[in-house]
Structure 1
């Protein structure tokens, strides 16, 4: 199959040149190209489709590296002991970590978090991302991070804070500053 199919007709032609038993791997449910008889697949009312409808269908990907997740959920930090363990693991692995100090009531924090999770997917193997809700953790942890404004994004390496970005302005600017901060230390 062509890596780049500029035209749906090419994709249709290449799919229908396959054996019928290979076609079911292309179905991923109601939104698939085989869901309706529209010239691009099987009719659900046909006997050929009814036998396959009862099976478990999974989307088949030929290029898994192209289908990496768009976002990675940041792991929450709950207390000082957990923070110490994370810093020690990062020190042993010689990888920096990024900590997002945020609050559940902070509108900018809430808006920034999904963008940071998207950035975390870009640096999946190089940097680990964590978040701390300052209202749900002990105050000594917040004092240890020396947090006075939110959101504050800090990069920690070798057990100490190396750089920080205070995100009081537009989210895309904050993300660019965080990206530059990560690139300095990775």
Structure 2
């Protein structure tokens, strides 16, 4: 990644202090999405990652992973698969629970959307603790597909998500365009 792209992306991410609760600095990507040059640069970078790793499908994690993953899939000429919060998809689904800081959550994917031979790139906006991404990896493998990598706009390195995901990745790359 060139310094120019990194600077462009960073300049379009707004810090919102004390959101959603006191002490948290939320990374707001809506200014980036509103800028067609920055959004295009982000889409190109993530689509390049899909091509480098031979992806045949893109999984986007709810909700901002949908916003990023769908145009990446189109740009890369790949199919897009949404991974949603439990209860949001009609029909037969595969579900995976995962731990949150206080409690658990569950995500789902349509059972028929993944099959053996699929090479899947997981796309999301932020890698924080790695819980959702780890659950998505498990879902993809249970669907018979191979995870070829995870690509995110930004990694919040201080939360340790990369280290938690390493065993689940089994050597597949984790690429972050920005590490904060």
User: Shorter-chain-normalised TM-score: which range?
Assistant: under 0.3
Structure whose alpha-carbon radius of gyration is higher: 1
TM-score calculated relative to the size of structure 1: 0.26
TM-score calculated relative to the size of structure 2: 0.26
More strand by share: 2
